[in-house]
Structure 1
Amino acid sequence: MTQQTPLPRSAIIYRMVMESHICPYGLKALHLLKRKGYAVDDRWLTTREQTEAFKLEHAVKTTPQVFIGGARIGGYDDLRRHLNLKVADPDAVSYIPVLVVFAAAGALALAASQVAFGAPLTIRAGEWFISFAMVILAMLKLQDLDRFATMFLGYDLLARRWLPYAVLYPFLEFGAGVLMTARQLIWLSIPVALFIGSIGAGSVFYAVYVQKRDIKCACVGGSSKVPLGFVSLSENLAMIAMSLWMLAAPM
């Protein structure tokens, strides 16, 4: 007896597809349905008027809208819940942003060392890892300087007493990182990195381990969801270590 192949599950998706706009969540929902083995009836909403009429008809505020088995499932997040998949929490804290920075800085340091010295694992690669990370972190802070300064003021001890320091900090970090990478003007870069690293470490330690506050760190910018804690402290300790190392071995 020949075993029949089961028919694929079917779904209908209504999504915006216009010349000037293609809904990204519609594309994500369509891809997810196909990846999960659904035969998808992909129905396009090609004008604003058509989209508004669809939302009014089904009493919904957004598109895309997915229907499975005649029942409305909802949008992309609702579809993920229906399929028992994790839905991202926009307010969830995560160390991933700063870990990505460290991973990028490490990869660049190894690559630069390979080009410069013919080997990835060198002392200079270790120095570059820290200085590259300083530059990348400063760049992220400088993308929205006002939001960074506002979050930074929540825990930095010096910035609370002298507000301009909250604005100056990423410039100091950026400049020290670049100079340390080039090993130029070390008489300037070492004191700057040592100063901001020490103030930063003291501020984080006081906020987290003395006051036991549960707040977010501005280390990757003012919109950061990174919790203030050990990883934040390690950034400052790395700057201190780099400064002391270059002070002991300036060449």
Structure 2
Amino acid sequence: MLDRVQQSEKSKKAVLYRMVMPGHTCPYGLKAKYLLQSVGYEVEDVHLNTREETDAFKKQYGVATTPQVFIGGNRIGGHDDLRRFLGKKVVDPKATTYRPVVVLFSLTALMAMAASYAISGDAFTLRAAEWFIAFSMVVLAMLKLQNVESFATMFLNYDLLAKRWVPYSYVYPYAEGLAGVLMVAGTLTWLSVPVALFIGTVGAASVFKAVYIDRRELKCACVGGASNVPLGFISLTENLMMIAMAVWMAAAELGFIGGHAM
């Protein structure tokens, strides 16, 4: 193995050792190979085909994991080490990010416009705006319900009602999903409106108190209990959207405004 490393050229040649077994192919090995090739390296792809061979490799080089990359006779390390060596960003799994909510709202907006276009031939309609909020509620509920225990644990950090009545932390995502589905269909407004208005109002008050009064730095449970989205404006927006949708539908149902499309 050492001979192969010493023979590698310093220019654009790399030696990659990765696990390729009948029951397991290391995904980070595949990513490392692709990354090397994408920046112009010629890759000598050495497969570790058995557990014994892998363990022997780790012992020989004093490493704990595979894959391992060698360039110019020097060990670079695993996939993350390779990214650093190439000057590329390494994602911190614990870092705060707004990416999940940006992706979610972008896709639900596109879904709403697509549905509106399919129905009326126009993507920019009142119904598209209504569907955007309703679709967002359904998708947000789905993300919470992927692991309701994890969501409930994070939710209990700041929700005012859940702190007083723990079962509410489990009820919330189901209520949000139900209200969203009914709003998509434009039916049973006598149920969807009060549900959305109630959970939206309690949620908005809870977020406002935790973030803007108590000045607490918390993670938001809005996209599930495993998210690194900070509690703040985005969380408040989710609840304000539900309140606005509930008020809009109630006003339309009572005839105070016209043009309600649902």
Residue identity in the other structure for 1:48:
R
Confirm or deny that 1:208 pairs with 2:211.
yes
Residue identity in the other structure for 1:245:
W
Residues 148, 223 of structure 1: 8 Å contact kept: yes
| CA drift at 1:98 | 1.1
Q: Which residue of structure 2 lines up, in the alignment, with residue 137 of structure 1?
A: 140
Q: Which residue of structure 2 lines up, in the alignment, with residue 61 of structure 1?
A: 64
| CA drift at 1:43 | 0.3
Confirm or deny that 1:37 pairs with 2:21.
no
2:17 corresponds to which of 14, 23, 31: 14
Confirm or deny that 1:168 pairs with 2:167.
no
Residue identity in the other structure for 1:76:
H
Residues 11, 72 of structure 2: 8 Å contact kept: no
Confirm or deny that 1:183 pairs with 2:164.
no
Give the percent of matched residue pairs that are identical in Structure 1 and Structure 2: 61
TM-score, normalised to structure 1, is 0.96
The SS at the match of 2:24 is: coil
Residues 8, 39 of structure 1: 8 Å contact kept: no
The SS at the match of 1:228 is: coil
| CA drift at 1:24 | 0.5
2:114 corresponds to which of 111, 116, 131: 111
Partner Cα distance (1:203, 1:151) in 2 = 13
Deviations 1:100-124 (A, max 9, x none): 1111110110011011111111101
Residues 156, 200 of structure 1: 8 Å contact kept: yes
TM-score, normalised to structure 2, is 0.92
| CA drift at 1:99 | 1.3
Partner Cα distance (1:65, 1:17) in 2 = 13
Partner Cα distance (1:147, 1:27) in 2 = 31
What is the root-mean-square deviation of aligned Cα atoms in Å? Answer: 1.0
Partner Cα distance (1:34, 1:105) in 2 = 36
Partner Cα distance (1:98, 1:232) in 2 = 9
2:131 corresponds to which of 109, 114, 128: 128
Q: Which residue of structure 2 lines up, in the alignment, with residue 249 of structure 1?
A: 252
Partner Cα distance (1:69, 1:213) in 2 = 49
Confirm or deny that 1:149 pairs with 2:152.
yes
Confirm or deny that 1:78 pairs with 2:81.
yes
Q: Unaligned stretches of 5+ in structure 1?
A: 1-6
Residues 12, 66 of structure 1: 8 Å contact kept: yes
The SS at the match of 1:158 is: helix
Residues 11, 41 of structure 1: 8 Å contact kept: yes
The SS at the match of 1:90 is: coil
| CA drift at 1:20 | 1.1
Q: Which residue of structure 2 lines up, in the alignment, with residue 23 of structure 1?
A: 26
Deviations 1:78-134 (A, max 9, x none): 001111111111110001101111111101100110111111111010000000000
